[in-house]
Amino acid sequence: MFSLQDRIISVFIDNQKRVLKDIEVSNALVKQGIPCNVEDVRRHAQSLSPALFQLMFDNDRTATIHVEPKVNALFIIIQYFMIYSLD
């Protein structure tokens, strides 16, 4: 079973984006049937920061989550793992 951190990473992979708002990540996870809220997303993204994510808090009380550019190889490995672990 994947952790919420793994699921957050998969949202970026699935959307093929390096930048998403916390609410976008939360909504994507809820659509997958994974119960979480914006605070859960922030907390787990911060636990992976600065190695994987960079969080920027905006004036509208949202957070923008940036994937660090140095993780291209990690994305490939995770994507490979996710594809072949579902078999």
Phi and psi at residue 14, to the nearest 5° = -60, -40
Query: What is the structure's pLDDT at 6?
Result: 86
pLDDT tens for each residue of 42-87: 999 988 887 788 899 989 888 999 987 555 556 666 666 666 555 4
How much is the average pLDDT of 12-31? 93
Q: Is the link from the previous residue into 35 a cis peptide, with omega within 30 of 0?
A: no
What's the pLDDT at 32? 92
Containing structural domain, residue 79: 4-85
**Which pLDDT value is given to residue 28?**
96
Q: How many domains does the chain have?
A: 1
**Does position 21 have pLDDT exceeding 60, yes or no?**
yes
Query: In sequence order, what E strands does 1-87 have?
Result: 19-21, 53-57, 63-67
- CA angle at residue 13 from 11 to 16, to 5 degrees? 105
Q: What is the CATH number of the domain that holds 62?
A: 1.10.10.10
* CA-CA-CA-CA dihedral for 84, 30, 60, 39, to nearest 10: -80
Apex 71 CA angle, 82 and 80, nearest 5 = 20
Model pLDDT, residue 22: 96
Residues 24-47 have a mean pLDDT of 94
